[in-house]
A and B are shown apart, each in its own frame.
Chain A
């Protein structure tokens, strides 16, 4: 085995460049590790032959002078990102056999950069959940404590990076689905500005909130992937034509002159005391880097979760209407009549949480309720956006907060209490509602040894500052280098 299973992408890149390891060797090691920790259930599917083939091709290309940035680097993708290998299941019974005839734009970009694609990671069905327990393929375990959840919905990607099952992974984030599992599994997770990375080929949950992002060992790794994934895509009308920074972090020495906003509304009784302490300690590190801390107010914070749980289900109820069992996916057997076929296929195909959100969404969009719920939520969404706008205009350069109110909870703990589950998103949904970039950085552990994450939220299109701050923080601390003690065999 190589010692690169837990290495940052930048180290893997250097090792491959210097040919101290071949992509084939590395890929074999990752596949071995994936098998060894099958019990974590981080992956829904792996593409062993295809991955080894890609690795051998990468080695050949390298031998002939190819220097593509991800040449031979083994990566994982959340299983709501379509690609032509294998199935794209969205962790749903409905799509368990669905094969996409096309690649998502982000997959195409990874391929063009030479990446080896190991497989597809587990998630909450159609990205609805906060624990990766709502999966047709079973729950994923948190590598730090296997009785606990890895967070969600990109729990499979977070567990894969934390357990050395991929050098880095792509996730998607609709209300915290990259950052919350990042916090629970001690992984650096970036949700970029809405419109930064093409959504073409992402199975839509809530189109106005969904964003592809990275799950990596370091902020530097995230920067590397962003430089490849960012950019306008003619196939996604909501992707924006903004200049992509080169993310050269090497020249940045400190955060002098930068003001970091600390939102008072985030430090309430709902927040675990240990997390408050650890995050407060982390703010000292940023002060050491020359930044000024400043208490700020985001007065509409308490509206975020209710707003989110109207807008997201509304869009989901619409986006999931296409799953009718006629053209692809699960079709109920021995049913006659069109309405019965729709009803039975969807009843069999979707899990409980998905049905709950479709019903909620259909309700809030119905005539008579539209104004009271959906329209009202659009208005509160604007208030939340305005909070951030005001803060960035007058008070700070970016915002620092806890990523989650608690550390990883026990499997099954919140399964029957959707409201408790939804409240887990309290610090993360705001960035999606406001379309802003936000970064989870591992920043410590609680008394049970469970990871804690802090969240940096930035101005729209200013991922560069977040990633610079993250890199400087990670130069100064070693939380992100801690690894779970995993033992083979169960």
Chain B
């Protein structure tokens, strides 16, 4: 029997607000333990939560980007459990009234595009961090992360493979980064993912028994964990055994998942509306204002690059991977009006230098305006491609204008017809033997003469012109001699 995997993901996205969700402590990652705390974070008696409006705005923006309905009347709810890194004994979250519902996202794997449903997005606070020290058999708690805002994004069970799961995560991360609401960094924990995995016979509509995979903290591990789990469940089913509904922990060193707790032990959270936080009314006008403020999303950019700018899907994918790339690209095109040239320069020369220097595009000296002008100089035959590369390397390290570098290095391309013709004549005259063969039809000698001319011009001659004039001169000589 053939089985198909049914996968749904629960993603926790840490929002990049300056302060926490219900108080003014900083959210900066990596500070000394328990330095970003205050009475609210610490759960002191008498402290009260006050919602951070930025969090609500970010949630609405994510909801709009994922085509969700935005709930007009929102409530925060308390989710109770005792744990040392949860100072109040409850987490402020949302329960049956999430801020966003019924959305979707398009993902691409290989050549196929699919739509994955978004069940809900809700806002909640993060817990602190517990660090268990086996040497002293003690646990330490750092509450810096407690109260950092999260969005929990729950997908429909629409994902069918490990690679789709990874594509889905990447697409979410890409959108979040476009919106500027999260850095989506899995290694630092600002994007976390749990996966619900089950199998069912192909064609069957009923879902099989699922397991929940936790502790998946990189894009690579998402695929590995799901692949492992699918294979595990498949072998159980093929052997006529049953899958047990349980939570399983992914171990990145072994690549395996192992049982953590079964459903029987699942917790009683005693959700109820948080009485410290009045119902949150989201007016239509607020949603409109946020929608107007939102940047163009990757999918729209991608379509524009392919349809209007006629770039390859590959280039379009590379250029829309990050908002900073597409912003840079669009700014270059704005100046040079040459999308293909801009795409080539960015994906080859610029990315190569970024990679070599280990730099982010946000932190480089050269501006898109400067690169745009450089491309225009090529298009106007003022620079050869080779020269431009030389100039660009200087621009990249110094941030200086291309015109200034060209001036300084005397790098202007030779485009004057008379001068080029003179160089060609000299080359002919200096190589009579080769000229004879060339005129006799030995086409490979065309390249020889182009090389001679380029050499004589110190590389400055415009190759296109050299080609044209060389052919014209050769034809003229041929006619002369016959």
Contact = CB atoms under 8 A, between A and B. Distances in A.
Contacts of A327: 42-43, 87
Contacts of A81: 46
Interface string B41-53: 0111111111100
B275 interface: yes
Given A102-B39, A374-B272, A200 B90 contact: no
Interface string B452-482: 0000000000000000000000000000000
B49 A237 contact: yes
Nearest to A328: B44
B272 to A, nearest CB: 5
B113 to A, nearest CB: 40
Interface of A: 81-82, 88, 90, 95, 98, 100-102, 104, 199-204, 206-208, 234-238, 314-315, 317-318, 320-324, 326-328, 338-339, 342, 362, 365-367, 370, 374
B399 interface: no
Interface string B23-50: 0000000000000000100111111111
B204 to A, nearest CB: 30
Interface string B70-110: 00000000101010100111100000000000000000000
Contacts of A370: 270, 272
B268 interface: yes
A317 B275 CA distance: 13
A196 to B, nearest CB: 14
A200 B50 CA distance: 11
8 contacts: A82-B46, A318-B80, A318-B270, A321-B90, A322-B88, A323-B89, A365-B270, A367-B268
B45 A90 contact: yes
Interface secondary structure of A, over-half rule: loop
Interface string B245-289: 000000000000000000000001011100111100000000000
Contacts of A339: 82
A372 to B, nearest CB: 14
Contacts of B51: 237
Contacts of A324: 82, 84, 89
A238 B44 contact: no
Contacts of B276: 204, 207, 237-238
Given A322-B43, A326-B84, A207 B275 contact: yes
Given A237-B50, A321-B89, A342-B82, A366 B268 contact: yes
B277 A237 contact: yes
Nearest to A363: B270
B275 A315 contact: yes
Which of A98, A320, A322 counts the most chain B CB atoms within 10 A?
Answer: A322
Interface residues of B, number: 28
Contact of A236 (B44, B45, B48, B90): B48
Contacts of B268: 366-367
B272 A200 contact: no
Given A102-B39, A234-B50, A327-B87, A318 B278 contact: no
Nearest to B22: A237
Interface of B: 39, 42-51, 78, 80, 82, 84, 87-90, 141, 268, 270-272, 275-278
Contact of A322 (B45, B275, B277, B278): B45
B89 A82 contact: no
Contacts of B46: 81-82, 88, 100, 102, 104, 200-204
Given A101-B44, A203-B45, A204-B46, 4 more contacts: A200-B48, A204-B48, A235-B48, A324-B89
A72 B271 CA distance: 47
B71 to A, nearest CB: 18
Contacts of A342: 82
Contacts of B39: 101-102
A200 B44 CA distance: 11
A452 B148 CA distance: 51
Contacts of B87: 322, 327
Nearest to A83: B46
Given A102-B39, A366-B270, A367-B268, A321 B45 contact: no
Most buried by A among B49, B80, B275, B277: B275
Nearest to B270: A365
A366 B141 CA distance: 29
Contacts of B275: 206-208, 238, 315
A234 B275 CA distance: 16
Contacts of A101: 39, 44
Contact of B270 (A88, A95, A362): A362
Contacts of B44: 82, 100-102, 328
B43 A237 contact: no
A321 B88 contact: yes
Contacts of B278: 237-238
A365 B90 CA distance: 13
A238 B50 CA distance: 9
B270 to A, nearest CB: 4
B74 to A, nearest CB: 13
Contacts of A314: 272
B272 A88 contact: no
Nearest to A81: B46
Contacts of B141: 326
Contacts of B49: 237
A88 B44 CA distance: 11
A265 B51 CA distance: 41
Residue of B43, B44, B48, B276 with most chain A CB atoms under a 10 A cut-off: B48
A324 to B, nearest CB: 6
Nearest to A88: B45
A173 to B, nearest CB: 16
A203 B47 CA distance: 8
A315 B77 CA distance: 12
A371 to B, nearest CB: 12
